[in-house]
Amino acid sequence: MASIGTVFTPAGRKALLLGSGELGKEVAIELQRYNVEVVACDKYPNAPAMQIAHRSRVFNMLDGDALREAITSERPDYIIPEVEAIATPTLVELEKEGFNVTPTASAALLTMNREGIRRLAAEELSIPTSKYRFASNYEEFVKAVEEVGIPCVIKPIMSSSGHGQSVIKTPEDIEKSWKIAQEGGRAGAGRVIVEGFVDFDYEITLLTVRSVAGTQFCAPIGHVQIDGDYRYSWQPQAMSEEALAKAQEIARKVTDALGGYGIFGVEMFIKGNDVIFSEVSPRPHDTGMVTMISQDMSEFALHARALLGLPVPEIRFYGPSASYAIVVEGDTKVVEFSDIEKALAEPGVQLRIFGKPEVKGHRRMGVLLATAETTEEALAKCRRAAEAMTVKAL
């Protein structure tokens, strides 16, 4: 029997968010709808989820000792990793000691490291993936590129949002790509994956929910990335019944292997009716922000409901929708959004401003959402709203 008592009492429930960006903020909101106490953690102060959480903690989550101290002192009912940059071996230890990690500590460990999840999918589950090799130093890297072939994609085994990612198109790019990968890894310089270039028609994120009621799938989400970072997405992505069935089968295999309850963002390449597995995140996915307008329960609401041990019997999809990231460039702690009334003048358009405290280089600071009769028109609405609004780094 699931029960949640009054917050701040022994009968209450407490969740520790490891990562407090825009995705963590939405998860925190959904948890609070269930009267769950939320402690938001991140490496910097005043992160988006911290602004609405009950309490917050600032520490380096890659520091295993600091992570253990936070968890053992808070003693949360739910530990919720929301980013990759976490000392996951410590989470594994704490789970063995009785702490509850969502969806599981092993899922966080495997998916934080591209090598772990790629070997699980390709070598243990026999799921189609791109050709790949791993390299720990420059000599191994050169050999890996030779074996995979040019063109190929280079990524640190631990990174996110496109950091450290590049494409080798000619032999002259090899040394440069190695340097980019070494500078962009979450934990600093280290091991990289060399992936064969995949010829695909489009790529999708298939949000997969595991709850006490079983496994459910959201409508497939199409998306476009620039330098490995999401820029806009739409739902549903048109695809054949055969391709969708294959995608769901792959997503089910991967998420069953990872286990636990919660939402998983499973990324795949589609070529005709062929489906190639790419990556999986055991948490809400940035491309899935479109679900804040497209479904009765967003990916964040689904994640909160599932991890609390509550059933997800169905997911109601409203219709064609789109999301469009608002990316700000500069070096500032002051960002001004103006002409918002112009952006929201058109029916079916919504705006979320994340509340991130600063920009260094470029950073996703908000998202526009829209519904329409078709996904193309929903995207067009988002673009018109973005053009109408003025965003300045002051």
Q: Which of 287, 291, 294, 321 is catalytic?
A: 287
Q: Which of 160, 161, 281, 291 is catalytic?
A: 160
By C-alpha distance, which of 240, 104, 225 is closest to 167? Answer: 225
pLDDT at 178: 94
pLDDT at 188: 52
Q: Who contacts 56 (Cβ-Cβ below 8 Å, separation ≥6)?
A: 20, 39, 40, 41, 42, 45, 47, 49, 50
* Length of the chain, in residues: 394
Query: Is 299 assigned a catalytic role?
Result: no
Q: What is the DSSP letter of 317?
A: B
Residue 347: φ, ψ to 5°: -60, 145
Q: Which of 166, 364, 371, 384 is catalytic?
A: 364
- pLDDT of 1 > 80? The answer is no
**What count of other Cβ atoms lies within 10 Å of the Cβ of residue 122?**
16
Q: How many whole angstroms separate alpha carbon 102 and alpha carbon 293?
A: 25
Q: Which of 64, 116, 162, 309 is catalytic?
A: 162
Task: Note the pLDDT tens digit of each residue in 107-146.
Answer: 999 888 788 899 999 999 999 999 999 999 999 999 999 9
Query: Is 267 assigned a catalytic role?
Result: yes
- State the pairing for strand pair 262-271/202-211: antiparallel
pTM for the complete prediction? Answer: 0.93
pLDDT at 115: 85
Task: Note the pLDDT tens digit of each residue in 49-87.
Answer: 999 999 999 999 999 999 999 999 999 999 999 988 899
pLDDT at 225: 87
pLDDT at 112: 82
Mean pLDDT of 292-314: 97
Which of the pair, 279 or 215, is modelled with greater confidence?
215
Q: How many whole angstroms separate alpha carbon 67 and alpha carbon 307?
A: 21
pLDDT at 165: 87
Q: Which of 262, 286, 355, 366 is catalytic?
A: 286
Q: How many whole angstroms separate alpha carbon 256 and alpha carbon 215?
A: 9
Continuous H helices in 227-374: 241-258, 291-294, 299-307, 340-343
**177 contacts 168 by C-beta, under 8 angstroms:** yes
Query: Is 287 assigned a catalytic role?
Result: yes
Mean pLDDT of 254-276: 97
pLDDT at 4: 92
**42 contacts 356 by C-beta, under 8 angstroms:** no
Query: Is 162 assigned a catalytic role?
Result: yes
Task: Note the pLDDT tens digit of each residue in 148-158.
Answer: 999 999 988 87
- pLDDT of 394 > 90? The answer is no
Query: Is 286 assigned a catalytic role?
Result: yes
pLDDT at 282: 96
The continuous run of DSSP H or E covering 216 comes out as strand 214-217
